[in-house]
A and B are shown apart, each in its own frame.
Chain A
Amino acid sequence: MIKKNVKGTLAGLTTAALIMPTLAMAESGGERDWDIDVSLILEGFYFNEVSSGNQTPAGFSDHDHGHDHGHDHDHSLSDGFNLGHSELVIESRLGDLLDGTLLIGFDEDHIEVEEAYLVTRALPAGFQLKGGKFLSDVGYMNSRHPHDWDFADRPLVNRFLFGDHGLQETGLQASWVAPTRTFTRFGVEVLQGDNGSFNRFMAAGGGHGNGHDHDHGGGHDHGHDHGNGHDHGHDHGGGHDHGHDHGGGHDHGHDHGSGHDHDHDHDHGHGHGGAPYSQQSAPRLFTAFVKTGPDLGPDHALQLGASTGYNRQVSRVEDHGHHAHALEGDAWFAGLDLAYRYDAGRAYGQGDWRVTSEYFHVWRNLDEHVEHGSWEKRESHRERQDGMYLEAVYGVAPRWQAGLRTEALGLTNKVVDFHPTEVESLSTSYRHSAQVTFRPVEPVFLRAQLSQNDFAAAGGERDRGLELMFQVNVALGAHGAHRF
């Protein structure tokens, strides 16, 4: 709501410009265009794991080998107080031409440029180009930041198919808004493909390793060994090295103990004679989406979306000591999303409804290669996985909202397992959450959320866990308007 002008800080520049009349002429009238909006989103959590269940859903942990995965969620919360996912957002305009956004995400021990992009504002006929690092516009939740969510955590389908930050990539997006009464927007994206294997534990990109060492070692070892029990004799010690360190000795010290090991482990497979396939060059990931929303009058608003994406090379290598397996191929996803809003027309959101749902399905066409001294190609397999969620939030009283969310991950859950190499059909995992949110003033919300995880393990056994979260989220400064 605030427009912070940097006129003051630019006063010196303007003075300098006035010395040079020609430059001053060029600047005149442009001063207004140097608005910079800066906002800081601060978030805190109090987390309590009431009862502990399986930590990762079957088919979405690192090949379910029975190594101990401990708490390997990247953004996992520890019992007690946690600094959540905070953000510094800087938005500015280059006159009429471009909008620029820089979004830096941070927590206690980790800072990352989450988004840094430019969007055109001057292209005619409904066209828009976006370039840089950004959150893909596929689906509904993917491009939204935690501050904008109705629940304290990312939906499972988004987190386990696209990653802890969603499908967040460097690349280009072109979109077109049709000049129709019913809002319709088409878009395509060409993305680097660093995290696009559509299952975050199955690293993409031709043996690059891509830093999917979700290693959270020390301290979070809760010993949830629910796997299949083939421990292949690796020393996974305290460090959960799920990575792609194939014996070359470049283990980049995965025992950090405090999460966020985003190492780019470039050590691929020396111990086993290189990768059995040639690496495709980036960009590797291509997406397309369409969003449409009819005019339903002042009370109702609806947006429907469909999206698809293709990664031309995904792979994973599994080192079994005396031999190794590799799977390599391409991957597709397709999804549908829906966002419905009811505006009751009463103050402070009382009586309003927000209903959101998404479904995504992933296919991976993979060739198996086995190495006993040299790589040998075997059969082809098709993996399929999917997931969905449905959430509804209601304004129970002025400034108070309550919501329910139900999620399923792996309704179809067909992934390759070795010994024998075959496509296994794993069980479905579920999560059910309830939240109550209070907004004392507009930029602040307090939320209590209770989640029951009903995750299947690879062996099929289920184990329920119950988590309680208290969230505080504050937006300071000039935080931009939220999209629909």
Chain B
Amino acid sequence: MRFMRNRGVGALALALLLSLPLPALAALNIVATTASLGMLANEVGGEQVSVTVLAAPDRDAHYLDARPSFMAALRRADMLLEVGAGLEEGWLPAAQRGAANPAVNSGRETHFVGASILPLRRSITMDGPNVGHVHAEGNPHFNVDPMRMASLGEALARRLARLDPAHAEAYHARAGALAETLREQTRQLAEGVAEQRIVVYHEDLDYLEEWLPVEVVGYLEPAPGIPPSARHLGELVGKLQGTEGRVLYASFQPAKGAEFLQRQLGWPATSVALEPQTPTLEGYLALMRDWVDALDAR
């Protein structure tokens, strides 16, 4: 009896031990600041990763609090994906410090910063006076360009392959497939869009110029991070009077300025999402279609 009982305890202990996730076998725990980066992590990482996105897709990633749940997520992270170029500067450093997890420290290989890998468009803030946002490294809103996202997916595959060589091939294969789908979709969608001029709220939609035949001719904000003023909107109307175009703004940005332009210029104003509703390829493709649907078709 005694022997049996000991064996029973031993078996139970063994079962418990086996049920514990062993670090080497567990999925790589990736924290992404935005849903677009979460999409890359999910699509490239596949079953080898588990992904947590910090910023809700309908929020402005410039302005978040370093909330306790972010620190808890970063505490358990094996890897951090950041947009960079100052986008998360207001909250991520505090959350990284509060997480007490060296894996998410800036400069580590497990800290992947999109803006330091991709070539960025210039940010208006690089030339303008030092108020509002400052993005000295460039415009951080590259997630609006699917071609750059395709390249970043491939860069992420290279990084994951170094961290987890056992699955290197799978990472490269998935990143290749993702890039192909994104490039194909980009080509197809761009074909359906007419050449046109647009006014956007913030420099966040500038990257549409990179893959669609659109030209950004003005911003509702007088400077990035500074809300539209009557004077600025008046000047914008004066400059664009008698021309045709569209106004786009993000769903979390106030509609007032866009509606003013719509009244004054007759330019249709549409609010669009900036991030996919779900951090998956499907979500991102739906987002691309949303952007295209907000524009004039060819």
A18 contacts B by Cβ under 8 Å: no
Spot the interface stretch: B55-63, B162-170, B187-195, B207-215: B55-63
Q: Is A251 an interface residue (CB 8 A)?
A: no
Asked whether, in the complex, the Cβ of B94 is within 8 Å of the Cβ of A347, the reply is: no
B67 with A301: CB separation less than 8 A: yes
- Least CB distance, B257 to chain A, in whole angstroms: 11
Q: State the CA gap A405–B55 with chains docked (Å).
A: 30
Interchain CB contact under 8 A, A95 and B94: no
- A183 adjacent to B102 (CB under 8 Å): no
Q: Are B102 and A398 in contact (CB under 8 A)?
A: no
The reply on B9 being an interface residue by CB < 8 A is no
Secondary structure type dominating chain B contacts? loop
Say yes or no for B89: interface residue by CB 8 A criterion.
yes
Residue from B69, B92, B131 within 8 A of A296 (CB atoms):
B69
Residue from the set A126, A183, A294 with the largest chain B CB neighbour count within 10 Å: A183
B225 at the interface (CB under 8 A from A): yes
Q: Is A51 an interface residue (CB 8 A)?
A: no
- A contact residues around B90 at 8 Å (CB): 1, 481-482
Residue from A296, A347, A482 in contact with B253 in the complex, judged by beta carbons closer than 8 Å: A347
Docked Cα-Cα span, A230 to B284, in Å, equals 77
Q: B121 in the interface, Cβ–Cβ < 8 Å? A: no
Residue of B nearest to A443 (CB): B131
Query: How far, in Å, is A72 (CB) from chain B's closest CB?
Result: 36
Shortest distance in angstroms between B133's beta carbon and chain A's nearest beta carbon?
A: 6
Mark the stretch among B71-79, B148-156, B260-268 that contacts chain A. Answer: B71-79
If A126-B101, A176-B100 touch, whether A484 touches B65 (CB-CB below 8 Å) is yes
| Chain B residues whose C-beta falls within 8 Å of the C-beta of A343 in the assembled complex | 59, 64-65
When C-beta atoms are compared, the residue in chain A nearest to B108 turns out to be A96
Residue interface bits A151-184, CB-to-B below 8 A is 1, else 0: 0000000000000000000000001111111111
B176 — which chain A residues lie within 8 A by C-beta?
none
Q: Are B252 and A346 in contact (CB under 8 A)?
A: yes
With contact pairs A3-B86, A3-B136, A183-B71 given, residues A177 and B100 touching in the complex (Cβ less than 8 Å): yes
| Chain B residue with the shortest CB-CB distance to A178 | B75
Q: How far is the CB of A29 from chain B (nearest CB, A)?
A: 9
**Total B residues in contact with A, Cβ cutoff 8 Å:** 47
In the assembled complex, how far is the CB of residue B205 from the closest CB belonging to chain A, in whole angstroms?
A: 15
Contact B86 A183 (CB under 8 A): no
A96 (CB) vs chain B CBs: closest residue: B105
User: Distance in Å from the Cβ of A397 to the closest Cβ of chain B?
Assistant: 11
Verify if B23 is at the interface (C-beta below 8 Å from A): no
**From B60, B66, B101, B135, contact of A347 by CB (8 A):** B60
B102 touches A124 (CB 8 A): yes
28 residue pairs of the A-B complex, CB under 8 angstroms, read: A1-B89, A1-B90, A1-B133, A2-B136, A121-B105, A126-B75, A179-B76, A180-B72, A185-B100, A293-B69, A295-B72, A296-B69, A298-B59, A301-B68, A301-B69, A303-B68, A343-B59, A345-B56, A345-B59, A346-B254, A347-B252, A348-B227, A398-B227, A399-B227, A482-B91, A483-B94, A483-B98, A484-B65
Q: A347-B254, A441-B132 are in contact. List 14 more A-B contacts (CB 8 A).
A: A93-B106, A119-B97, A121-B102, A122-B105, A124-B102, A126-B100, A183-B71, A293-B72, A295-B68, A345-B59, A442-B132, A481-B91, A483-B98, A484-B98
Q: Enumerate the 7 nearest inter-chain pairs by beta-carbon distance, A residue then B residue, closest first.
A: A293-B68, A298-B56, A183-B68, A295-B69, A183-B72, A481-B94, A301-B67
